[in-house]
Structure 1
């Protein structure tokens, strides 16, 4: 089934999407462009330029930026370039993150724990900080963070901690900035079917034990879903674009699970 496209829903909106080279981020950016938004796709992979080029060939307003959002310097540079395209950012969608390793917590090294948190918490923390002065000055803006229901899941404790931090950012920042007319919301995807990644999140399983640990994640994800399946990229994008749109104008500080009934 083809996803519904609401023509004009993002007309006159400048929307920055991080992690936009593939997966959920790419699907979200494509949908917002089809719905009239001027999109700036941000990713550390050069693939993001191919995606933006494809969107422009389809007649959409799309620009691409490469940046390492795990540092504040990279996040600030990306936000500055995104702003320069249209003079403003109406919506920021923070989609960077993803599990690097899959194993019980006692098997993580300190360096791996830090890397997981650096990957899945700091890009959201930094880009929110970079965009806020601009949104506050305009007394307008929407931030949509992409969290995860894996805040309650097996074999991903550091990732769960990072996404728990994203939930905390969403709740606390929404409380701070509502006075400026800024909304801060989040979606929490569950397991999502997607094509093979062109840039992997981490090393492939090295032995039978690592394969079994990853299988535990898959099994728990399906078992925790009332619908007993993974979602699709379009199902995740539908929730995120709704939260980013004016249709959600009375929603802030909320984390919406999109996981077939798994509340996380």
Structure 2
């Protein structure tokens, strides 16, 4: 049976990182599994947790028993919706609003999360930004620096702040992308940051292994998140994910399970690795 390519309603948002509540259809973020206490008594700090993959990861980890420190840039309505979903899972959540491109904010958010919850066992470096360009001249110094500051520098800032509070058995999980492996003609600087994240993951995994801290990454393919309508024109959005072997974009909750697995003891012998929920495209590891 041939897989039918799935299309989306054409739509566009003028401001990044995008608002999930304005998307049509709304992304599917609720976990598709029953909780089994795999993360009971753990504390997870999730960046970009207001929407998209971050929202799905935060709610999925809450279902498994984790308490959540949720960092977001400015999307107050989306963040509160995520917090409400976490609360409905019977967990606790604390919201922190600010720019993870600032090392000072990262240090302050981590300090407040530790003061609130007493520890951090899981760091999910998920937040990111991307800007489509048609020519190299559009990649200004300011744009390139900003993309790297949000997508890569923040991971250094947060790792530095979080690791001293992490007990053995803790986990860091970084969001990279399929673009790290195949590139993207319009997302030049974004793709470069995602390649850097793969190498950062491997390097940190070796550095932190003696402390019993595992570091892994997830490289999603085309997922239906607010970044998509906030990055591309309406026509391109309508075909998002249609070129995958499965013929459709993935949903955030189809990615979140990879993060839950890597955060849990089920992945106790995995570090320096990348998981690929990407709709069937074969890429290098």
Partner of 2:218: 187
Gaps of 5+ in 2: 1-27
1:142 aligns with 2:171: yes
Task: Out of 161-170 and 2-11, give the one that drifted further.
Answer: 2-11
Alignment of 1:53-92 (within 5 A): 53-92=84-123
1:261 aligns with 2:266: no
Bigger helix fraction? 1
Q: After the TM superposition, which segments of 4 or more aligned residues of structure 1 sit over 4 Å from their partners?
A: 200-205, 216-219
1:156 aligns with 2:187: yes
C-alpha distance in structure 2 between counterparts of 1:218 and 1:159, whole Å = 20
Change in Cα spacing, 1:258 to 1:202, as seen in structure 2 (3 Å) is closer
Q: What is the number of residues matched between the two proteins?
A: 250
Deviation at 1:177, TM superposition (A): 0.8
Deviation at 1:49, TM superposition (A): 4.0
1:121 aligned counterpart, secondary structure: helix
Conserved 8 A contact 1:5-1:31: no
TM-score scaled to structure 1, two decimals?
0.85
Partner of 2:203: 172
Equivalent in 18, 37, 47 of residue 18 of structure 1: 47
Partner of 1:7: 36
1:117 aligns with 2:182: no
Deviation at 1:17, TM superposition (A): 0.9
Could you list the per-position Cα deviations for residues 162-194 of structure 1 after superposition, in whole angstroms to 9, with x for gaps in the alignment? 111111110000011101101000000110124
Q: Which has the higher contact order (CA 8 A, sep 6+)?
A: 2
Conserved 8 A contact 1:142-1:184: yes
1:239 aligns with 2:258: yes
Could you list the per-position Cα deviations for residues 208-233 of structure 1 after superposition, in whole angstroms to 9, with x for gaps in the alignment? xxx49x839967x643x332321111
Q: CA RMSD in A?
A: 2.6
Equivalent in 240, 244, 248 of residue 229 of structure 1: 248
Gaps of 5+ in 1: 206-210
C-alpha distance in structure 2 between counterparts of 1:102 and 1:160, whole Å = 12
